[in-house]
């Protein structure tokens, strides 16, 4: 599983946020555009691209994009 590809897929879920703003270290909940709708899009994307089902606790427990990547990687 490729980290850069995961970051690109993650960034794709945003409309107004420039993808260059998003890196592995980004604390995604601090992004202006972050919302429950984006959280759902991320869950859907992870399901579709990696066949991993994220739970609410996974999103809540993650701070950076890297944290999410590690969860998905550990289950895929």
Helices and strands, number each (H, E), in the chain: 4, 0
Residue 22 falls in which region: left (phi positive, over 0), alpha (psi -120 to 50) or beta: beta
Please report which helix (H) or strand (E) contains residue 35, including its range. Answer: none
Q: In this chain, which of 7, 11, 22, 54 binds other proteins, going by CB under 8 A? A: 54
For position 55 contacting other proteins by CB under 8 A, the verdict is yes
* Residue number with CB closer to other proteins (4 or 74): 74
CB of 25 to other proteins, least distance (A): 24
Q: Which residues bind other proteins (CB under 8 A)?
A: 36-37, 39-41, 43-44, 47-48, 53-57, 59-60
């Amino acid at each position: 599983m490729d980290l850069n590809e995961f970051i690109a897929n993650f960034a794709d879920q945003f409309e107004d946020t420039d993808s260059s703003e998003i890196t592995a270290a980004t604390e995604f909940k601090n992004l202006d555009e972050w919302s429950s709708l984006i959280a759902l899009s991320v869950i859907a994307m992870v399901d579709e691209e990696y066949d991993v089902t994220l739970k609410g606790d996974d999103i809540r427990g993650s701070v950076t994009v890297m944290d999410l990547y590690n969860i998905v990687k550990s289950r895929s």
